Structure formats: C-alpha cells, structure tokens
Amino acid sequence: MRTQVAIIGAGPSGLLLGQLLTRAGIDNVILERHTPEYVLGRIRAGVLEQGAVEMLDEAGVGARLHAEGLVHGGIDIAWAGQRHRVDLHGLTGKSVVVYGQTEVTKDLMDARKASGALSVYEAEDVSLHGFDGAQPAVRYRNGGQAREIECDFIAGCDGFHGVSRQSVPAGAIRNYERVYPFGWLGLLSDTPPVSPELIYVLHERGFALCSMRSHTRSRYYLQCSLAEQVEQWPDERFWAELRLRLDPRAAADLVTGPSIEKSIAPLRSFVAEPLRFGRLFLAGDAAHIVPPTGAKGLNLAASDVRYLFDGLVEHFRNGRSSGLDAYSERALARIWKAERFSWWMTMLLHRFPDHGPFGEKIQRAELEYLFSSHAAQTALAENYVGLPY
C-alpha cells in the first residue's frame, strides 16, 4: 500500500489530522491497535478552547458540537467554604465549550467513514521504518496478514504508551517528566450538574472538581491516594466525600445517583523533545501529557495538529518545507506554556503530602492574591481559554 501520510493512532489528534488532510486532498491512512468500540469507550475530559472549536469546524465536524456543546463564560474556584468566580469572557472576550472528548471522537469517526478514507483498526505489531531517510514505511499485522504501508511522512498520534515515540533512538530524544503523588478518582453519572459552570475546589481533605458532559450528565473528581482502588469507593462513599469538600450551597444542591463509570487516573506532566525525527512527527499525547487541572490535553493535541497540518499542506501543495521544519519549535513553545499553567493550577488546588504548614500558607497567600488581583485573574483566564496558535 502507498499513501502520503501514515497516521498512527485513531484518537482525537490522529482523526482530526486525517480529516483535515482528506478535505485538503492529501491521501492518508490511519492505523489503530484497538477496536473502534474501545476507542469510543475511553472517558476523557471535554473542555474545548476556541481554537479547538474552530479546527473542528474547519474539519467539517462542528455541527453537533454547536448544537449540544455547553458554552461557559466562567469558572468557580471554591476555597474556605466560599466560591469565587473567574469571569473568563469578561476578562478575555472568549469562552470555552464543554463537549466530551468521546463525542469529538465519534464525530470525527463518522466523518472519516463518510469520506471513504481508510482506517485500519486492530492493527497489531505496528513498527516504523526508514523515517530517518527518504522512504518511510509502516509494517503491521491485521487479520492474520503481514502488511506494509509506504509513505512520505509518519504522524505519531498514538498516545503516551504508543509505538511512535518508542521507535525513536534513545539518544535522539529527551523526556521531561514529573509524576504527582496522587490521582483523580472520577465518577460519571446521569444526574444534573451541581452548577451551570465548573467548580474547582481546594479543601483540607483534598481537591475536587464538579464538571459535566451535558445538562443531564455530570462528571465529578476527587483527589485520592494512588494506593487506593476503585473498588474501595462505592458510590455512597464517593458522594459523601464529595459533599464534605463542597461549599455549603453546592453541597445542598448536589444531586446524587448511580455511577455509569468510575476510574482512578494518575497525574503527570511530560514533554518529549524534539517532536520531529526525519519524516516522523509526534503529536498529542505521544508528545506530551498535562495534568487535567488546566483542561489542556485535548486542546494541545489540536494545536499540534494545526501546526503539523499547515506544514504538510505547504509541502504537498507548494513543495516548501518551512512549516515542517518549524513544527517542533512552534509546537513546543505552546506546549511548555500549557505545561506551566497546568502545573500551576495543580499546585494551587491540591493537597501535597510533603508541603506541610509552610506549603499550605503559600497556597493561602496565592489564592488571596488571585482573588484580589484583576491582573492575576486576567492571566488565569487568558491561559484557561487558550493562548493564540
């Protein structure tokens, strides 16, 4: 098989890149090691920056997003029993849209199927070859058959544990990582959200987040120990603990119900440098991970795709390489700003076991400054709604 761009991974970054390339007349094939059902079953965050929304519109998949997505012009930060609203729209003129990553993935899958572009699911033993030369190739097994795709470029969009980054020689890449000493216990339920906007909570018992997927489906998170298991958290215990961490008004308004899904996710900050290795480019979670506190994971994947897509279009239409040559530097500049913001939000709103009384006093001083400073709130809002691409 021969194609122009082989895309490894059928998550949002791979599907978005594939959809944009297809609409631009650039041939591409997507390889995914899991089934479509498995990909759609992954529960992820869903706060979209304006830039990500515009890219989905450009890809022709924005109709359901605009019909069902929830536009939020602010967030609440709760601390010491009181809620403080950060007016995102008033401070920046921009808003965010709450629309689940599962829904984004489904819209992109449907569009790809309608376009007739090829996606190979359950691609096993994927290996990347020749990307440091003029003729890259991707080998894999599917349906018991060994297969090979020759291509001009490879886009590694296969996540943190994927084969793309692992295919790079160790001496050619540098990884930067911080693993946080706690996780997020998440619960999804068909209950109305406790508030029309997200509530971030710092409490002496730990962080909490009240989020949503729609007017009838809520997503809640609790900071927990990584030593704990989901089985230790029956619904009744989760709801009781969440209510303890909320401010009085939210605790009174909270509607509980059976969980649809429950899981514990570790938190880490991670960046790989560089993002280009000959004719192989890394994008999305294959290149970076952010703690979810800043709502940046899916949005960073979208900006990676923006830079990579523009470079590929320039190459195939005009024969120029400046966009591809600049991809790593441009993407990393935005990635590190988002990493800093996500780290700051995580440090601000979580209880760290090694912080002690001094660390708690620093958190208090930081929050008091944030709530009393227009400049500090503006900086938070500008980062939350997304820096320009």
Looking at residue 27, what DSSP letter applies?
-
Q: Are 331 and 307 in contact (CB under 8 A)?
A: yes
70: three-class secondary structure by DSSP: strand
Integer Cα distance of 190 and 216 in angstroms = 6
pLDDT at 44: 75
Residues near 261 by Cβ (< 8 Å), separated by ≥ 6? 43, 186, 187, 188
Q: In the numeric block, which tokens belong to residue 136? A: 């890259």
Q: Which residues of the chain are under the pLDDT cut of 50? A: none
pLDDT at 359: 93
Residues near 173 by Cβ (< 8 Å), separated by ≥ 6? 165, 272, 273, 274, 277
Beta strands per DSSP E along the chain: 5-8, 28-32, 47-48, 70-72, 75-79, 82-86, 96-98, 118-121, 124-129, 137-142, 145-150, 153-156, 174-189, 199-202, 208-212, 218-224, 259-273, 276-277, 280-282, 288-289
Known catalytic residues are 72, 200, 292, 296, 384
| 248-283 residue pLDDT tens | 999 999 999 999 999 999 999 999 999 999 999 999
Give the residue from 28, 13, 108 showing the smallest Cα distance to 316.
28
Distances (CA, A) of 322 to 110, 256, 311: 33, 54, 7
Q: Which residue has the tokens 């890259």?
A: 136
Distances (CA, A) of 68 to 63, 88, 97, 104, 260: 9, 21, 10, 11, 20
Residue type, 178: R
pLDDT at 259: 98
Integer Cα distance of 55 and 70 in angstroms = 17
Backbone angles phi, psi at 247, to 5 degrees: -70, 160
Mind giving me the DSSP string for 82-135?
A: EEEEE-HHHHHS--EEE--HHHHHHHHHHHHHHHT-EEEES-EEEEEE-TTSS-
Q: Are 326 and 311 in contact (CB under 8 A)?
A: yes
pLDDT at 270: 98
Q: Are 138 and 14 in contact (CB under 8 A)?
A: no
User: What is the pTM assigned to this prediction?
Assistant: 0.95
Strand partners, 208: 201, 222
Q: In the numeric block, which tokens belong to residue 113? A: 């199927």
202: three-class secondary structure by DSSP: strand
